[in-house]
Amino acid sequence: MVKSLSSLLFHLMLAATLALATDQVVFTIVDRVQFSVPGDWPVISSKSTPEKTIFAFQIPNRADKGTSDSTNLVIVSSYLKDAKDRTAFDKKAAAPEDGAVDKTLIDGWGCRSFTTMQNKTQYVDWDCYRVVANCGVFVRMAWPHLPKNPADYDKQMEKVLSDFLTSVGPSKKLTN
């Protein structure tokens, strides 16, 4: 038991060291899908079953300090075990939010962008879809338009989303 705990502690310390060294934390969803996020993105919600996994992250933004607004990213991975599941995922991916416009961000992902209001704050939302390792992957990123945001904040956030989407792929266990 002590040896197992020592081994676990060693691996956790190694993972923490690697996270600091690369500033990225890698998540694996049920040995099917993996992605990485910067180490300073807190997980604000997570739920996992063998069929569906959800992670929500808050993306640091100095402009939202002292407000109820925040920049967030959510990833949902749903296992597509049969044609019925795939059809349901494709149907959801094909049903845009009101006012959504198809956008090209990176190859392999279908994305749409739209604006919405939350209380008195306008938000930019991006919804992106892709199938990875028999999983339907949905990513939503939303950020507020705040007076203290840098002038190029939308472009910065599109780059953050692009980098995140690039990190999403089959689990290393599937590719080895």
DSSP string over 114-139: EEEEETTEEEEEEEEEEEETTEEEEE
Quick one: which of 42, 47, 97 has its CA closest to 70?
42
Residue 15 placed within a domain: no
Q: How many domains does the chain have?
A: 1
Q: What local confidence, expressed as pLDDT, does residue 31 receive?
A: 85
What is the rounded CA–CA span in Å between residue 94 and residue 85?
14
Residue 104 placed within a domain: yes
Residue 155 placed within a domain: yes
Residue 113 placed within a domain: yes
CATH code for the domain of 115: 2.60.120.1690
Structural domain boundaries enclosing 131: 25-175
Residue 145 placed within a domain: yes
The radius of gyration of the chain's CA atoms, rounded to the nearest angstrom, is 18
List Cβ neighbours of 60 (8 Å cut-off, separation of 6 or more).
40, 41, 71
Residue 10 placed within a domain: no
Residue 81 placed within a domain: yes
Residue 127 has pLDDT above 70, yes or no: yes
The H or E element containing residue 150 is none
The 10s digit of each residue's pLDDT in 60-80 is 999 999 999 999 999 999 999
Beta-carbon neighbour count of residue 166 at 10 Å? Answer: 15
Q: The whole model's pTM is what? A: 0.84
Residue 147 placed within a domain: yes
